[in-house]
Amino acid sequence: MTRKLKPKSKFATVLSAAILSTACTSLPLHAQAQSGASQQTMPTIQQETTLNLTGHGKIEVAPDIATISLGVNVEAETAADTMKKQANLMNGVFNALKKAGIENKDMQTGNISLSPRYDYSSRKNGPPKLIGYQASNTVGITVREINSLGSILDAVVNAGGNTINSISFGLDDSSEALKSARKAAVKDALSKAELYADAAGYKVARIISMNESGNYSPGPQPVMMARMEMADSASTPIAAGEVSYSSTMNVQFELVKK
């Protein structure tokens, strides 16, 4: 028996045609997208040409202040006598400083100490022997009239002071000197950049980054011969010289072809 197939409905025929059309058209689009992606190249970014340099700036100026650490160092048999002795001498030092025109705001106690003194020569026969005490008292002062520095030190010694630990020279206000040093450091870095760029056929386009890696201002300087000189002279000679303020700048430049 031959079985006849029923004809499809009009709706089924349209639906089948739509599915077939979608399947046929989707495949070429997908293949085309893959082909386009493989042929397309990623855009490249030209890296900028940079130059990293360090600039140094240094300014030398005459100081207008001096900072000194001075005081007394004494010995006595008992702790009480030692402290009393240093107190009497230190009072004389303070009085001499005030007479010399040093204001209270420019004086500050730096250190007071008291320690025992021992004789270790008899250590083989027993413990070291206590032979007395040692006391020291120091004060830091700022002298604003440098020309009077020598006479001030002499007055301190005449009043009982016997210790000068350090002296340093500087500026009461160093801001302007540091500004000048920083400007000089930037100019130094720029000068180097222009030189190197020109040698390579480039020119400086701009500064990318800039930072200060450090600056320097004068610090204390030991005065080892001060006491001996003061003992042999009517007025201790002082040479203030000049003080240096410096700055170091790290700068990154962008270079472009001329």
pLDDT tens string 67-123: 999 999 999 999 999 999 999 999 999 999 999 999 999 999 999 999 999 988 866
CB contact at 8 A, 157 and 208: no
pLDDT at 48: 87
For the chain, domain boundaries? 47-63+172-258, 65-170
Least confident residue range of 131-135, 194-198, 236-240: 236-240
The CATH superfamily assigned to 65-170 is: Protein of unknown function (DUF541), domain 2 (3.30.70.2970)
* DSSP β-ladder status, 129-143 and 107-119: antiparallel
Is pLDDT larger for residue 27 or for residue 124?
124
Which pLDDT tens digit goes with each residue over 180-197?
Answer: 999 999 999 999 999 999
Sheet hosting strand 243-257, strand order edge to edge: 49-61, 243-257, 202-216
* Whether the model pTM is above 0.85: no
User: Quick one: tokens of 257?
Assistant: 């072809």
CATH code of 47-63+172-258, in short, is 3.30.110.170
From residue 221, alpha-carbon distances to 153, 166, 170, 243 in Å are: 16, 6, 11, 12
